Amino acid sequence: MIDSAGIRALVRGHTTAQRVQGTLRLAGLKPRVRETLDASHLGGVFDIYESADAAKLAAWPWRTIQVAAAGFILCSALVWAGLRWPLQLAGIAEFGQGGITEGAPAAVPTHVFAPFLELVKLIVAGLIGLLLTAIHQPASRERGRSMEQAQILLCVSGAMMMIIIGNSLARAFGIAGAASIIRFKTPVEDPKDVTILFLLMGLGMSSGLGAFAVAGLGTAFLSVTLIALDRFSSQRARTMSVEIQASGREFPTAHVEGVFARNQVVWEPREISQSDDVSVKYHTWLDARTSLEDISAQLMIEGGGVQSVAWEHPKRER
């Protein structure tokens, strides 16, 4: 059996584990306890396993292992293909075979599978963008997902531009003129994200040129560099104060703390005021990439009992 006090103890244990860079996993739950957690909308917050051995096995960083394996396979395949077919991928395999006619090289015949080769270049650019996006998460707080998609699409657009330009100087000037019309007014908060976008554009261009070896080695080098930078640089958690007002004289503590736990927010209740309605002010620590709008929407979900959510930076204590 488990009651509300036990649920709160589990939630606090979950957030305490996050505060010390650890995890809390539950194993071997009885059906009645599992039903109670589901009824409290906390079934998806905790990592629940059938046995202790399964919980220990889940402690392995499987996502990191999968990303590392995928990156190794992708970079190795690109380097191998780039060294194996350098001229074919660059589209100049037939150059010079027809000899010289009146001081100019013979026309290069277009292969029937040339369009599919260009499609492969776009796919390679997309895979490079996916890999680097899995390694580097944008620091934008409210536009994290759109920034991730922008990273992938920018790499593909670099490949597309080089495919369209080819060896035509006129096309290059045309694309440059078209790009000058576009105005990007979305601010990028972290200078590191701007640099990543620029590097992704370069890797996409190398894929569009068919320089798969350069793209593979560049992707491997950039991946290792990003991992090293994230490893040796410490990012401080964002500290925010939030005031939550609920209707009635009973505060939905389980719902609020469940939302905090689900979004990996560490909290500490500071002030409680009660009149016709009750409001609680929390001092919170959360990741800089966490969207405050998403958390507010989860708190104010219909049936949760929360009327308003107000975030602010806490005042410095003297």
User: Which residues lie closer than 8 Å to 42 by C-beta, 6 or more apart?
Assistant: 7, 10, 11, 254, 258, 261
pTM (2 d.p.): 0.63
Q: What pLDDT, in 10s, does the model give residues 284-303?
A: 888 776 778 878 888 888 67
The confidence score (pLDDT) of residue 108 equals 46
Q: What pLDDT, in 10s, does the model give residues 29-51?
A: 888 888 888 887 777 778 888 88
What is the rounded (10 degree) CA torsion for 8, 44, 237, 317?
-30
Q: What percent of the chain has pLDDT over 90?
A: 15
Residues of the chain with CATH 3.30.70.260: 237-318
Q: Which three-class secondary structure state does DSSP give residue 37?
A: helix
- Topology of the domain comprising 237-318: Alpha-Beta Plaits (3.30.70)
The confidence score (pLDDT) of residue 92 equals 58
User: Which residues lie closer than 8 Å to 286 by C-beta, 6 or more apart?
Assistant: 237, 238, 240, 263, 264, 265, 266, 295
Q: What pLDDT, in 10s, does the model give residues 248-259?
A: 778 888 888 888
